[in-house]
Amino acid sequence: MEITTEMIKELRAATSAPMLDCRKALQEANGDFQKAVDWLREKGMATAAKRSDRDASNGVVELYSHGGGRVGVMVEVNCETDFVARSEQFRNLAHEIALQIAASAPKYIKAEEIPAAELEHEAEIAKVRAKEEGKPENVLAKIVEGRVEKYKDEVSLLRQAYIRDESITIEKLILQNVAAIGENVIVRRFKRWELGESASHTE
């Protein structure tokens, strides 16, 4: 299929990818627009992964208040340069991450931060529940493992499904933005307060 300049322009408008990459994507996808978008995203994410070890010391502290002041979120999102820190796309991403934290109340940024004791506790609960449900002994370990993984998805910000598009995780959302921005982006730390919660939850 012939790749026209019009097709390349359309793909560039939708993805902000360089012209040459858009041409290559359309060639790879045999002119299929959606496949070309996917190809660019995958390529972008591969590039984004390579950027993950670059220093990110600029950025923004995003503040968000929800439900008339019932929930408050403060999150620090870092990038590499002050130029990107001031860009609309980066600011929007920081805001989306704050919204996610407000709505989904993660406890950790990454699953690796969850204490082993907490995971063991969840595994124990899952085991007792599976036994009560009458699950056979030979599948218990698999069920427990599945439920522990689901718990990690729920409490780790990067593994949570994005509230606006549940087909992607927050990690994937960040990678897509890294691919477009061209800089490493890191969620450094966050705090979430909910009106009336006990002090132990805010530690």
Per residue in 64-108, pLDDT tens? 998 888 999 999 999 999 999 999 999 999 999 999 999 999 999
77 or 15: whose pLDDT is higher? Answer: 77
Structure-derived torsion over alpha carbons of residues 64, 69, 71, 75, reported in degrees to the nearest 10:
20
The beta-strand segments (E) located in 67-174 are 71-79, 161-162, 165-169
32-36, 89-93, 192-196: which range is least confident on average? 32-36
Are 57 and 159 contacting, i.e. CB atoms less than 8 angstroms apart? no
- Angle at which helix 19-28 crosses helix 5-15, to 10 degrees, equals 110
Instruction: Tell me the CATH architecture of domain 115-154.
Output: Orthogonal Bundle (1.10)
Same fold, 5-51 and 58-110+156-202: no
Are 1 and 24 contacting, i.e. CB atoms less than 8 angstroms apart? no
User: Any idea what DSSP says for residue 183?
Assistant: S
Q: Where residue 18 falls among pLDDT bands split at 50, 70, 90?
A: confident
Instruction: Look at residue 138 and tell me whether its pLDDT is greater than 90.
Output: no
The domain defined by 5-51 folds into: Helicase, Ruva Protein; domain 3 (1.10.8)
1-5, 69-73, 118-122: which range is least confident on average? 1-5
Are 93 and 174 contacting, i.e. CB atoms less than 8 angstroms apart? yes
The CATH number of the structural domain formed by 58-110+156-202 is 3.30.479.20
Neighbours of 129 (CB within 10 A): 13
User: Any idea what DSSP says for residue 185?
Assistant: -
